[in-house]
């Protein structure tokens, strides 16, 4: 399970050091792509396979095709260098609004990891925490 928030600086080449607690859980077959709220998401192999299974159809709907194209066109294998860094592609950084030499929030989101531009994470997180009881009550009512 991925929990916690870590502030990490993206270097000038677009490399990002993934916190060791997260990195230890990210095995071969992990992928980075776009996720909800237009942030980069690190999908462990089981989550990636679940997405593949959900999107695999011989005759996909227009919505499924659009989601597949967005997800897979932004995807890359999550491979760590000797210093525990991953390379975020230029296209991934552009899509998520992440600049070289900027700080991002690497956020544990239960079954996956999200990479947020720090200026976007702060207001989102503040809002979600402020609505915690409301959101919990809605979940409980389901």
> Residues 105-140: pLDDT tens digits?
999 999 999 999 999 999 999 999 999 999 999 888
Strand 40-43, strand 31-34: pairing: antiparallel
* Domain boundaries defined on the chain: 5-117
Q: Which of 81, 88, 82, 69 is nearest to 31 (CA)?
A: 88
Query: What is the rounded average pLDDT for all residues in the chain?
Result: 96
Residue 139 confidence (pLDDT): 87
Architecture of domain 5-117: 3-Layer(aba) Sandwich (3.40)
């Amino acid at each position: 399970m991925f929990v916690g928030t870590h502030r990490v600086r993206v270097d000038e080449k677009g490399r990002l050091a993934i916190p060791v607690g997260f990195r230890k859980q990210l095995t071969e077959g992990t992928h980075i792509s776009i996720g909800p709220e237009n942030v980069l998401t690190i999908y462990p192999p089981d989550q990636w396979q679940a997405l593949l299974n959900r999107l695999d159809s011989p005759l996909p709907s227009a919505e499924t095709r659009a989601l597949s194209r967005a997800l897979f066109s932004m995807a890359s294998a999550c491979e760590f260098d000797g210093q525990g860094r991953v390379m975020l592609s230029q296209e991934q950084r552009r899509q998520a609004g992440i600049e070289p030499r900027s700080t991002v929030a690497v956020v544990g989101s239960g079954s996956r990891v999200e990479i947020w531009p720090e200026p976007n994470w702060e207001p989102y997180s503040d809002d979600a925490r402020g609505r915690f009881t409301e959101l919990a009550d809605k979940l409980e009512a389901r």
